[in-house]
Structure formats: C-alpha cells, structure tokens
Homo-oligomer: A and B are copies of this chain.
Amino acid sequence: MPIGRKIWAIAEGYIPASSHGPEPEMTSHETACLLNTGDRDAHVTIMLYFTDREPAGPYKVTVGARRSCHIRFNDLNDPEPVPLGTPYSSTIVSDEPIVVQHTRLDSRQAENALITTIAYSQD
C-alpha cells in the first residue's frame, strides 16, 4: 500500500549564499526529502517559482520503488542551477504517491541553524 499523495508544494525556498564548516556536510543547503513506499518507481517533476521571473524547470527525478531520496536543491542543474541568496518556492509532482518534507541547513554563522516541515499536499 503506497503512502502519500502526488501533488506537493514548498512555499519557502532560500539557499544561503555563504557557509561555515566542512563541505559538503555543513554547506548551507536546502533539501526536499522524497519517500516512495510503493512497488513502482516514482517519476517526479520539480518546478521552481521566483519573485520576478517565469518558473524554472522541469527538473526530473526518479525515486525508486521502496526508496528514500534526499534531493539537495543546490545540486539541481538541468535545465539550470538554483540561484543562491534568492527567494523561491517549489512544486513537486509525482506519477506515484510520495511523501515530501522540506529541510534547510543554514551555516552562514559559525553555528548551524536547521528548519524542517512536511510540505503542503493535495489530491
């Protein structure tokens, strides 16, 4: 029995432009954690929304059957990289039910700060 939904959104989005500490563990980053509990691979499309330009994407990701996939937005490069120090939002749409959670590690200062939330979902 797959758990989750197919349509998700994260309204926050901001990759701090600076970091403290060893890379890549302590590099400031944003992550979308994707869980696919089903028995079929999930084909996922990520779109990025900005303040003053048209959306970027689609970014294509496959989450294998019965697999967890923690995607760093920092690592999205096709069709274009995610700009640092820039507010954005994202949508994550899958052809199979998944669960999405958003996390940021901010290491602009000497001690890191963390945030997380389950993303918004709908049927």
Chain A interface size, under 10 / 10 to 19 / 20 to 34 / 35 or more? 35 or more
Separation of A104 and B76 alpha carbons in the complex (Å): 26
**Inter-subunit contact B68/A88 (CB<8 Å):** yes
Q: Main secondary structure on chain A at its contact with chain B? A: strand
Interface residue from B35, B70, B100, B106 paired with A114 (Cβ < 8 Å): B106
Contacts of A67 in B (CB 8 A): 49-52
Closest-CB distance, A123 to chain B (whole angstroms): 10
| Closest chain B residue to A36, Cβ basis | B49
Residues from chain B with Cβ under 8 Å of A13 in the complex: 33, 68
Q: Which of B25, B69, B101, B110 contacts A51 (CB 8 A)?
A: B69
A110 CB contacts on chain B under 8 angstroms: 109, 111
CB-CB under 8 A from A34, the residues of chain B are 11
The listed residue (B11, B26, B109) touching A35 by CB distance below 8 A is B11
- Cβ contacts A27-38/B at 8 Å (1 or 0 each): 000010111110
